[in-house]
């Protein structure tokens, strides 16, 4: 028997998931682990979302939808842009996807060919790098160094070295939580347009900013591709439903690729997601707890020797410099889990070059869990 193995399978593992798997093994043995490793809300989806799904299941028939999604959900997303950002977005430019992960696949396949160079920030979300590597796209990782976010000068320098075909950035960012200020976002999008660089803006942590209103890259260019999701603010990770806002020229290419890769996003999740936009009061209460957790970690982590490596502007992450304790964050994360029973993500996921110096702590859990985690770390470090 012959097994054929493609080199595409040689991408770096997602270490956060490896840490989560080990944490789950410990929990199965009765060990009371506090997990700060995975960027997943601890709250269930809003009540209205769950009720809509229940009602749909009682009706009995859940099937395929159009490849770009239910018209009712696309219209609800368009209305969200009017309500939240004051922008008119046609439902015809919106593609509903099987989570934001499918949206990235579709964007990369529709926009880039093997060998094209696409810039991303380091540190950054590892799936960007891993998906593009599997597709043969050239990844240009821009080390942010002392900067909190990717800006226009980074883009110019990378393009001068060798022309770029695209740039992908997130605001608020994973793992840092940093937000690109509105004037810098305008400069970044404008510079990309002037240089002929296609823009993908990852906005899945929108509505989770703590000090400034959300600014979408769509406000600065009609040719921007925006990716968003119901996973984070809307507490719907396992429902696997997200969306894209596309330039008109990309709608049909994305639709054609989606028809063959996914057929359609799951109808049950789409029906339920329509109700998510009506749950703001419920979701803002969840966000208020994140803000409470954020205040705790902003104080306690530096006190414990975990210096903040980026401003905690948004999302639900604290990104820390751990060099006071270690120069091997991977080994440190495993030891911390095994001995203190606190799980966090080693920086290698987010930055292959400098990640040995950093760790990401998620504060999406309960406040009691955050307090307990800080107490455990204090005892363990002593």
Q: What is the pLDDT of residue 41?
A: 94
Residue spans of the chain under pLDDT 70: none
Q: Cα(292)–Cα(370) distance, rounded to whole angstroms?
A: 10
Does residue 50 lie within any of the structural domains?
A: no
Asked which of 278, 305, 333 is the last residue of a domain, the reply is 278
Q: Cα(129)–Cα(131) distance, rounded to whole angstroms?
A: 6
Whether the Cβ atoms of residue 111 and residue 105 lie closer than 8 Å to each other: no
Does residue 197 lie within any of the structural domains?
A: yes
* DSSP annotation of 211: S
Q: Are residues 262 and 302 in the same domain?
A: no
Q: Are residues 287 and 272 in the same domain?
A: no
Q: Are residues 140 and 270 in the same domain?
A: yes
What CATH number corresponds to the domain at position 182? 3.40.640.10
- Which is nearest to 277 in space by CA: 226, 228, 216? 228
Q: Are residues 270 and 363 in the same domain?
A: no
* DSSP annotation of 258: H
Q: Are residues 270 and 287 in the same domain?
A: no
- Report how far apart, in Å, the C-alpha atoms of 337 and of each of 18, 27, 33, 89, 317 are: 12, 11, 8, 45, 18
Residues spanned by the domain of 235: 61-278
Does residue 51 lie within any of the structural domains?
A: no
Asked which of 258, 278, 298 is the last residue of a domain, the reply is 278
Q: Are residues 109 and 243 in the same domain?
A: yes
The DSSP bridge pattern shows strands 358-362 and 345-346 to be antiparallel
Q: Are residues 38 and 66 in the same domain?
A: no
* Phi and psi, residue 375, nearest 5°: -65, -40
Tell me the pTM. 0.95
Q: Are residues 295 and 264 in the same domain?
A: no
Q: Are residues 369 and 234 in the same domain?
A: no
Q: What is the pLDDT of residue 2?
A: 83
Q: What is the pLDDT of residue 382?
A: 87
Q: What is the pLDDT of residue 16?
A: 78
Q: What is the pLDDT of residue 72?
A: 97
Q: Are residues 149 and 172 in the same domain?
A: yes
Q: Are residues 272 and 300 in the same domain?
A: no
Q: What is the pLDDT of residue 5?
A: 79
Q: What is the pLDDT of residue 24?
A: 92
Exposed e or buried b for every residue in 5-16, given b needs 16+ CB within 10 A?
eeeeeeeeebbb
Q: What total number of domains does the chain contain?
A: 2
Per-residue pLDDT reduced to its tens digit, 269-318 = 999 999 999 999 999 999 999 999 999 999 999 999 999 999 999 999 99
Q: Are residues 294 and 357 in the same domain?
A: yes
Q: How many helices (H) and strands (E) does the chain have?
A: 12, 13
Q: Cα(55)–Cα(43) distance, rounded to whole angstroms?
A: 21
Q: Cα(337)–Cα(351) distance, rounded to whole angstroms?
A: 21
* Contact residues for 311 (Cβ-Cβ < 8 A; gap 6+): 148, 176, 177, 178, 179
Q: Cα(355)–Cα(151) distance, rounded to whole angstroms?
A: 21
């Amino acid at each position: 028997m012959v097994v054929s193995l493609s080199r595409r399978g040689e991408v770096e593992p997602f270490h956060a998931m490896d840490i989560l798997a080990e944490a789950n093994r410990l929990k199965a043995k009765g060990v009371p682990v506090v997990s700060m490793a995975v960027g997943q809300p601890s709250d269930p989806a809003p009540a209205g979302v769950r009720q809509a799904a229940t009602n749909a299941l009682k009706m009995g028939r859940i099937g395929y939808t159009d490849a770009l999604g239910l018209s009712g959900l696309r219209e609800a997303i368009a209305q969200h842009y009017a309500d939240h950002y004051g922008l008119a977005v046609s439902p015809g430019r919106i593609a509903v996807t099987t989570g934001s992960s499918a949206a990235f696949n579709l964007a990369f396949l529709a926009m880039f060919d093997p060998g094209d160079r696409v810039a991303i920030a380091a540190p950054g979300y590892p799936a960007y790098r891993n998906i593009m590597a599997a597709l043969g796209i050239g990844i240009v990782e821009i080390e942010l160094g002392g900067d909190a976010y990717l800006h226009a000068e980074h883009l110019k320098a990378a393009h001068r070295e060798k022309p770029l075909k695209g740039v992908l950035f997130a605001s608020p960012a994973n793992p840092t939580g940093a937000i690109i200020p509105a004037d810098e976002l305008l400069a970044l999008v404008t510079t990309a347009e002037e240089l002929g660089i296609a823009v993908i803006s990852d906005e899945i942590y929108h509505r989770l900013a703590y000090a400034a209103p959300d600014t979408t890259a769509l406000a600065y260019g009609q040719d921007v591709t925006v990716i968003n999701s119901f996973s984070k603010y809307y507490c719907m990770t396992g429902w696997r439903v997200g969306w894209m806002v596309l330039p008109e020229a990309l709608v049909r290419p994305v639709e054609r690729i989606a028809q063959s890769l996914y057929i359609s996003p799951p109808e049950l999740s789409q029906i339920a997601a329509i109700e998510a936009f009506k749950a703001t009061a419920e979701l803002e209460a969840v966000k208020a707890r994140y803000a409470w957790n954020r205040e705790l970690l902003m104080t306690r982590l530096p006190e414990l020797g975990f210096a903040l490596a980026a401003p905690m502007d948004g999302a639900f992450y604290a990104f820390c410099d751990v060099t006071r304790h270690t120069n091997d964050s991977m080994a440190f994360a495993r030891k911390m889990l095994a001995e203190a029973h606190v799980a966090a993500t080693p920086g290698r996921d987010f930055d292959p070059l400098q990640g040995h110096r950093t760790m990401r702590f998620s504060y999406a859990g309960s406040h009691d869990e955050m307090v307990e985690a800080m107490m455990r770390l204090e005892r363990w470090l002593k």
